Structure 1
Amino acid sequence: MPMRLLGALCALLLASAPALAFPDRPIRLVVPYGPGGITDIAARILAPRLGEALGQQVVVDNRPGGAAQIGFGLTARAEPDGHTLVLATTALAANPVLFRVIPYDARRDFTPVSLVGLVPMVLVVHPSSPAHTVRDFIALVRSRGGEMTYGSAGNGSGNHLSTAMFNHAAGGLQALHVPYRGGGQVMTDLVGGRLGYVFAVLPTARPFIVGGQLRAIAVTGAARSSALPEVPTVAEAALPGFALNEWLGLLGPAGLPAPVVAKLHESVVAALRNPDAAARFREIGVEVAGSDPEGLRRHLDRELTRWADLATHVRFEVAE
């Protein structure tokens, strides 16, 4: 065999070695939040189906804290062999505008695998609110002169950031932000009439809406949600072009070998196509995606730009 051909064959075998050996032990799926939230629920739907596709157990590892920085940082520092992944959220793109120092670089320190799904937000108010449409709502907030309150699960949470984006798009609405230490108490206080409004993830808000404890004004996605088909989008109701979703994306540390990325992506797509998994995602209001790695990279780039741009118009309290 000519030496040139032999060298090419050796290079090909070396390049494919990671894929042939991977995975050779259980995979850790880091969730940068505590149990019970939408990211954790989605991870526990995805993990067993992903494990079936890969032929290895996928173990969910909750690492909450620091506005998801602990989980993201742990993944960024992991060995780039495909056995540590993170189910990332909007926080990966928003944290650079909220913290002066973070223990990772969102573009440089991760390898995108797949956009898993989009999670629409829904604007909800107490049933006693006089607002029934987005235009009613905007007028109501303006009439309160900055005194209307909105709740969030904390500074930098999806509720907080989505509200800031909406308030800016609606012409600079002024309202009082009330941060909590988690999403549960936010909904409790809105149902109790102690808050003016909340932009909540649809899976969290839907039971209260269906039960008549909250009124849905609009969803934030580009299209109506199949989980609340009668509720209009913000764009069709008042603000053309407005579209905002929480998102879930699977990433590994920087430097994952291409064959490992390809195998992971193929397995994610297979997991998302599982009929049972697809039905469970629909039930909780997650719109499954299953993009290729480059699709997630482009999505992350757009999100980083979006939040950086918002920070030039909206003053956020920046943490150390």
Structure 2
Amino acid sequence: MTIKLFSRLRIGSAPRVAALFAAAAFASGALAQAGDYPNRPIRLISGFAAGGATDLVARIVAQSVTDALGQPVVVENKPGASGNIAAEMVARAPADGYVIYLCNATITMPAMFPKLRFDARKDFAPVALVAYGPSVLAVNPKFQVRSLRELIDYAARNPGKLDYASGGVGNITHMAMELLVSMTGMKVNHVPYKGGGPSTLAAVGGEVPVVMAAISNVVGHVKQGTLVPLGISGHERSKALPDVPTIAEAGVPGYEASSWYGILAPAGTPKPVVDKLQQAISAGVAKAEWRDKLTVQGIEPAPMDPERFAKLIDSETRKWNEIVVRNHITAE
């Protein structure tokens, strides 16, 4: 059974978020201990190409820290190996707060990369969770299924005959579907595509009847009637698709699988520096202009301090490694 850490840590609750914003405003003691940091530009390394949800989060973080700390934050996109090239680069950087890493949930799937040359928990200092983005389980309207329960029943009647599309092997959409399969006993066939856009279009065009994809890929097709949503993968409904139940609501209690975006620094980065970065990020995400830009993409602001972010990484690593090992998933 999965650990509903997102909901248990109450990242979406107004009191918790308000408390984080208040801490960002009043933690002057911690800021003073950081001395004159930063006194030169900060490099924010992203392991993914420019454009898309991850890059949007990177730009928001960069501008937030720039505004709060008065030094430019330069986003450097270094795509490749599911973000691991960029992660290793930051893991080996000086622990002074001038090189930081924008990670996503892939950082918690080390079992999928047998040649990995860093340890996410030993080589990094968690700084802050920024936001999370659930996926949507959807079907082509010609496929005569209109609920998750009907999909599970169909799969039971037709074992091994149902195909689903994802954004690629090891992509969070793939992992989210594998988690659902493990919790329901469905026997289905994975059809990986090179990204969420192509996988969504494959379902729209009828190449495959079912897709698990990011909300940003799906929402337009739902509104046009070219895809039928069955459930949201996150711990709560999405503001982008408020009428669509979560998968847990739709009949799989305890299910939860979201992509998320956070900031890591090299291990050994001084705590006052980590705290200063975290407070700047949380204050930035609180601004309505940034919240709105995230929400329209199906991404929810989720400020989380270093301690709780570390717990999230630990919990997600246990969850996803179990799925990876059980299903012999490898991205190499």
Verify same fold: TM over 0.5: yes
d(CA) in 1 for partners of 2:256, 2:284:
27
Are 1:35 and 2:47 counterparts? no
Q: Deviation at 1:213?
A: 1.6
Deviation at 1:188, TM superposition (A): 1.7
Checking the alignment, whether the CA contact within 8 Å between 1:49 and 1:277 is kept in structure 2 is: no
Aligned-partner SS, 1:75: helix
Q: Aligned residue for 2:329?
A: 317
Quick one: distance in 2 between partners of 1:184 and 1:222? 24
Deviations for 1:156-175, whole angstroms, at most 9, x for unmatched residues? Answer: 1111111111111112x121
Aligned length: 303
Contact 2:172 2:258 in 1 (8 A): no
* Percent of residue pairs identical: 37
Work out the CA distance in 1 between the residues paired with 2:331 and 2:324. 14
Corresponding residue of 2:199: 186
Higher deviation after alignment, 215-224 or 138-147 = 138-147
2:220 aligned with 1:195: no
Deviation at 1:116, TM superposition (A): 0.7
Does residue 144 of structure 2 align to residue 130 of structure 1?
A: yes
TM-score w.r.t. length of structure 1: 0.90
The answer as to 2:331 corresponding to 1:300 is no
| From 275, 288, 299, the counterpart of 1:262 | 275
Q: Deviations over 1:59-83 (max 9, x none)?
A: 2111111121111111111111111
Aligned ranges 1:134-213 → 2 under 5 Å: 134-171=148-185, 173-213=186-226
Distance 1:307 1:317, change over 3 A: closer
CA shift, 1:184, in A, is 2.0
What residue number does 1:70 align with?
85
State the Cα deviation string for residues 169-214 of structure 1 (Å, max 9, x = none): 112x121112222222112211111012121111221112112221
Rounded Cα–Cα distance in structure 2 between residues aligned with 1:116 and 1:317: 28
Which of 88, 94, 109 lines up with 2:103 in the alignment? 88
Task: Provide the rounded CA distance (Å) in 1 between the counterparts of 2:140 and 2:51.
Answer: 24
For 1:10, the equivalent position in structure 2 comes to none
| 1:153 shift after superposition | 2.1
2:298 corresponds, among 274, 285, 298, to 285
State how far apart, in whole Å, the 1-side matches of 2:331 and 2:61 are.
33
Aligned to 1:6: none
Alpha-carbon distance in 2 for matches of 1:127, 1:23: 53
Q: Which residue of 1 aligns with 2:16?
A: none
One-letter amino acid of the structure 1 residue matched with residue 168 of structure 2: G
Distance in 2, matches of 1:133 and 1:141, equals 13
Name the aligned partner's letter for residue 162 of structure 1.
Answer: A
3-state secondary structure, aligned to 2:248: helix
Structure 1 position 316, deviation (Å): 2.3
Contact 2:169 2:331 in 1 (8 A): no
1:18 deviation in Å? 7.7
1:250 to 263, 278, 284: 263
Structure 2 unaligned residues grouped into runs of 5+: 1-29
**Map of 2:119 onto structure 1:** 105
**Which amino acid letter does the alignment assign opposite residue 77 of structure 1?**
R
Offset from partner CA, 1:257-290 (integer Å, 9 cap, x none) = 1111111011011111112111211211111111
Q: Answer yes or no: is the 8 Å Cα contact 1:89–1:249 preserved in 2.
A: yes
**Structure 2 counterpart of 1:234:** 247
| SS of the residue 1:243 aligns to | coil
| Inter-partner Cα distance in structure 2 for 1:72 and 1:211 | 38
Amino acid at match of 1:57: P
Deviations 1:98-118 (A, max 9, x none): 121202101100010111111
The RMSD of aligned alpha carbons is: 1.7
Q: What are structure 1's unaligned runs of at least 5 residues?
A: 1-14
